[in-house]
Amino acid sequence: MEVKLHTRNVALDERFRESVESKVGSAARLFEQIVAADVEVSEEQNPRLAPEKYKVEITCQAAGHTVRIESAGATLENALDIGVARFEKQLRRLKDRMVRRTRSPKVAPPMGEVEPEETDDLLIVRTKQFVMKPMSPEEAVLQLDLLSHEFFLFENANTSRLSLVYRRRDGAYGLIEPA
């Protein structure tokens, strides 16, 4: 497996680079399909964030899903160890869900109502573009959990229309579909 290491505001020695490659490669052993993983290491310049000065982000594609984690720590090694543990936990969760999905009947996620929120000024500060592949609502919920986001927009394989799954305050999931 190829580990692509990127840095921001920090210089890394060769020992740490080898440690990153071995630990991330070891965590990714659950999926043979993982070809590459992107690891970004950064150092926060703000002295108020000293307990979490170093940040590690690991992103990869596993079984058609994007797995992404973030971790922070006082030292590079600490942030890496926390990140690798979270990365392995996410991969294990993905593998368990994939196995469970093939062994159990499919159940639709609970439907929920959306309450509109009022905002005064809308300012777009970031734009993301990504390739959408058709997937079921269950796969979208899985992707939502793997990315640790609050919502996920996807093309519903059943209806061929855009749909959105979101995490409700009670911990359940909601599905928004066009009428």
Q: Cα separation of 54 and 10, whole Å? A: 9
Q: What is the pLDDT of residue 112?
A: 54
Sign of CA dihedral 26, 28, 29, 35: negative
Which token pair is 116?
Answer: 């509109």
Q: What is the pLDDT of residue 98?
A: 81
Low-confidence ranges of the chain (pLDDT < 70): 49-50, 104-122
Q: What is the pTM of this model?
A: 0.59
Q: What is the pLDDT of residue 122?
A: 64
Hey, where are the domains in the chain? 2-103, 109-179
In this structure, are residues 108 and 56 in contact, taking their beta carbons and an 8 Å threshold? Answer: no
Q: What is the pLDDT of residue 126?
A: 80
CATH 3.30.360.10 for domain 2-103, yes or no, is: no
Which token pair is 176?
Answer: 């928004």
Mean pLDDT of the chain: 84
Q: Cα separation of 147 and 77, whole Å? A: 23
How is domain 109-179 classified at the architecture level of CATH? 2-Layer Sandwich (3.30)
